[in-house]
Amino acid sequence: MNHWPSLALWAPIGRGMRAPALRLAPALSLVLCFTLFFTLASGAGSAAMAQGLSALKDHDIDQPIEWSADRSEILGREDVALLIGNVKVDQGSLNLTSDRMHVFFKSIDGQNTPEMERLDVTGNVKITSPSEVATAEWGVYDIPNRTITLGGGVVLLRGETRLAGERLLIDLVSGVTKLDGENQPGDDSGARVRGRFVLPERGSERGNEGENKPGPEPQKDGASR
């Protein structure tokens, strides 16, 4: 008989697990590396590269996961737990909140304590990292495949940049963020990604450069041409 970890404590995560990968519709996907946008906006390539990827790049999934909720239940299956009400999850720099969360465990041969394999969250889902905030109706943290997927009215904020779509995928290895578009009522053009990019203000001196410079002096009679 397995001894499941207490829901009031953190449970360690192990490697070597395999779960079905979550795939997005490639025809509707937009890879949001942001490097291009920041480069065009600021003209500073090095600064753009620094801001281009999620801070969750190379996120360590072996860090302890600490969680809390108003109520917890062990469902009919011993490998699934349910957390209800003000759910909060912390793993290093990754923070997640929601109304409900299903925790899926996997038994490992030779271990009395199972390992967490997947977190399914629903209701007022919010992911926070040092570089972005994302909100959605539902989310899946696929631990062995190192991905986080959010869906349903997704809004992604990075600084003053705002993007909206239907499904968001964050790769915790590469840091690349991928957003699927959403269909708009009365719009037959297909799913679209919407957003707002705030360009940095340019200095007034640079903008007025050359305005007050004197023009060329007129040539005197007899000067060589």
Kindly give the parts of the chain with pLDDT less than 70: 1-52, 76, 182-225
- What was the pLDDT predicted at 74? 80
- What was the pLDDT predicted at 185? 57
Contact 100, 48 (CB under 8 A): no
What are φ and ψ of residue 35, in 5° steps? -60, -45
CATH T-level assignment (fold) for domain 54-184+191-197 = lipopolysaccharide transport protein A fold (2.60.450)
- What was the pLDDT predicted at 118? 96
Distance (Å, whole) CA 134 – CA 171 = 14
